Amino acid sequence: MKVLLDKGQEVIRTLLPVVVLVVLLTLTIVDVEGDIFARFMIGSVMLLVGLSVFLWGIDLSMNAIGELMAGELATSKHLFKILALGFLLGFLITVAEPDLLILGSQIEMASGHTMGATFIVYVVSTGVGLTVAFGLLRLLKGTMRFNTFMAIIYVIIFILAIFVSEEFLAISVDASGATTGALTTPFALALTLGLASLKGGKYAEENAFGLVGVMSAGPILAILSMSIITGQEHIHSAPDAFIPATGVIAPILRTLPITFKESLLALTPIAMLFFIFNIAKFKITKARLLSVIGGLLLTLSGLVLFLTGVHSGFLDMGRVIGMQVAGFDQRILILVGFLLGMIVVLMEPAVHVLGEQIEEVTAGHIPIRLIRITLSGAVAIAIALSMVRIVFPAVQLWYFLIPGFIAAVIFSFFSDPVFVGIAYDAGGVASGPMTATFVLAFAQGAASMIPTADVMRDGFGVIAMVAMAPVLSLNLLGTYFAHKQRRIAKRAPAAAVERDYPSVVTNSQVCLLVDVSRGLADEVVALARSAGATGATILHGRGGSAEEIVKIPLIGVEVLPEREMVLLITDQQSASAVASLLSQTTTLDARIFGTPAEAMVKELPPNNA
């Protein structure tokens, strides 16, 4: 119960600003029917309870399933098996995603039923399966850095985008956001974390992120390719008339069974795949199996409550606010869009899951507050610019979307590697169910009140903008962090070696701890072996002196530099030789600490060979 209360407190902090903003608008410039306002308040409570239960269930189920699936992939030595299992995982966790089913229906209606919803879902799921398969292969084989891998994918996307219309460009990025929903994202994050932990190595921290970003690229490739192959260029259809639901409880009760069915369909493929592998491979204990089953039930319950609250309580409210604010003053529309972006992204379920993983992987040294502030500001600007597009028809989507993604790819080569994976993941998690419902409804409501705007085109475009903004902003943040780190390294004296190893040792054994900047541990190990040391353990962490801490301006958040520590237990002569060699290696900024190793050595099991 304590876990549930802790989750609830976290959700309240992110939900409250949205409720306060809506209440302020209804008391000032927006006139809302009483039943719509009542459903919004009830929906807010459902969001609070549902998201808290959902996050609790994710901890118990998806994290465990992802870890087990990661073990199956990591132990495979066959290329075909990795590709086949990667494709199967990507396809199955996408094909029943509720957000994607909704988007498929919207595209079917928008295209005059020339493209069926089921066809769209399977095309997108196939694209996700292919990109996930090659993404997992890259991670396991270590043949390519993540920023290079994503740059290749986006170069292909940019080339395909030349040959499609603005509508399909917007739809493809919207499909990207719809794919990485409330269920697929936690599973993908857990799978990546498990693979990175099992693979280890000096890139373990950065490999713990990125699969959600890979998944997000799959739908863009698939939709753009489909548009070119089928010859479909433009979408012409009249938008459906907006008719708000009437009543308070009845709309919620009508939405509940539909949402339950969609959520169950979304959860079933992942659950079935786990049970099949558990019978054939995993064979986990009964206690752990019951924990996973309980977590799946909690995940399902929380997702049903969350989505029901969103669809029945937030959808109509978002549409009404968009219509009335646009009718009142178009300048205020841009401001309200900015404020909505600042707070709505923090309500996305997957943003919470990503935040928890960042905290776990980096041991809290990349502050969650920093990531959330960056996401909040980026999405706020993205939605504000989307409102600019609605108000000024000459401003087109590609003016922002193409340059934004190009800049994100370029900055990824200058960014701190850990931030690159987080950035691409954040692009998927930011455009979740809250954006696909409340923000989309707000944009469509605003577009319906402005004669020069197109409801379908501008509505699709807002999700595309939200998906792009985190990728660019976090790569910018990572570039700033890496730049500050390089400036700090230049100010540090070359070959600064602190010797604190003892002159008196026990049993002629010394424990040396060599502290170096990220990426230099392998060089230290090679030098130590050349000086007579026979083994080493590499530890990863973050820390440093006050001068080495990167302080982010304005928001006052501090980010600690990443360090690597090499632990050597060797004889006194080798220890002295290692310290002497490191002090002569001017490319290292090493700190060497040595202590008597008697206590550590006597804890080791005796060698009976």
Reply yes or no on whether the pLDDT at 239 is more than 50.
Answer: yes
Residue 597 vs residues 18, 302, 572, 574, 575: alpha-carbon distances, Å? 57, 51, 11, 14, 12
**CATH of residue 510:** 3.30.70.120
pLDDT of residue 177: 75
Determine the pLDDT at residue 536.
Answer: 77
Q: Say yes or no: 396 and 351 in one domain.
A: yes
In a domain, 608, yes or no: no
Residue 287 lies inside a defined structural domain of this protein? yes
Greater confidence, 510 or 189? 189
Tell me the average pLDDT of the chain: 79
Angle formed at CA 459 by CA 386 and CA 473, multiple of 5 degrees: 40
Residue 109 confidence class, pLDDT cut points 50, 70, 90: low
d(Cα 590, Cα 576) in Å, to the nearest integer? 15
Task: Check whether 143 has a pLDDT greater than 80.
Answer: no
447 with 595, same domain?
A: no
551 vs 556: CA distance, rounded Å: 7
Task: Decide which of 453, 486, 519 is a domain's last residue.
Answer: 486
Q: Compute the half-sphere exposure of residue 424: CA atoms within 13 Å on the CB side of its CA.
A: 32
Q: SS3 for 597?
A: coil
Residue 388 confidence (pLDDT): 92
Residues 99 and 205 in one domain: yes
Tell which of 429, 461, 486 closes a domain: 486
Which residue from 364, 408, 379 is spatially nearest to 541, judged by alpha carbons? Answer: 364
Regarding whether 524 and 419 lie in a shared domain, the answer is no
pLDDT at res. 201: 63
CA angle 398, 399, 401 (to 5 degrees): 50
Q: Using 50, 70 and 90 to split pLDDT, how confident is the model at 384?
A: very high
Q: List, in sequence order, every beta strand (DSSP E) within 443-577.
A: 498-499, 509-517, 537-542, 550-552, 557-559, 562-571
> Does 242 reside within a domain?
yes
Is the domain of 458 the same as that of 514?
Answer: no
Do the domain assignments include residue 321? yes
The per-residue pLDDT for 471 is 92
Q: Which of 47-51, 382-386, 393-397 has the largest mean confidence?
A: 382-386
State the total domains in the chain. Answer: 2
| Structure confidence by residue, pLDDT tens digits, 406-448 | 999 999 999 988 889 888 888 888 877 677 778 888 888 888 8
pLDDT, tens digit, for every residue of 27-60?
888 888 889 999 999 998 998 898 889 888 888 8
548-561 residues labelled b (16+ CB within 10 A) or e (exposed)? bebebeeeebebbb
Whole-angstrom Cα distance, residue 528 to residue 568? 8
Count the Cβ atoms, other than its own, within 10 Å of residue 192: 26
Over the stretch 71-96, which tens digit does the pLDDT of each residue have? 888 777 788 888 888 898 889 888 86
pLDDT at 590: 64
Domain range holding 585? 498-601
- Indicate whether 145 and 64 sit together in one domain: yes
pLDDT at 354: 83
Q: Retrieve residue 148's tokens.
A: 């290079």
Is the pLDDT assigned to residue 6 strictly greater than 80?
no
Please indicate whether residue 387 or residue 199 has the higher confidence score (pLDDT): 387
482 and 575 within one domain: no
DSSP codes joined into one string, 123-136: HHHHHHHHHHHHHH
How confident is the model at residue 544, as a pLDDT?
59
Judgement on whether residues 123 and 166 belong to the same structural domain of the protein:
yes
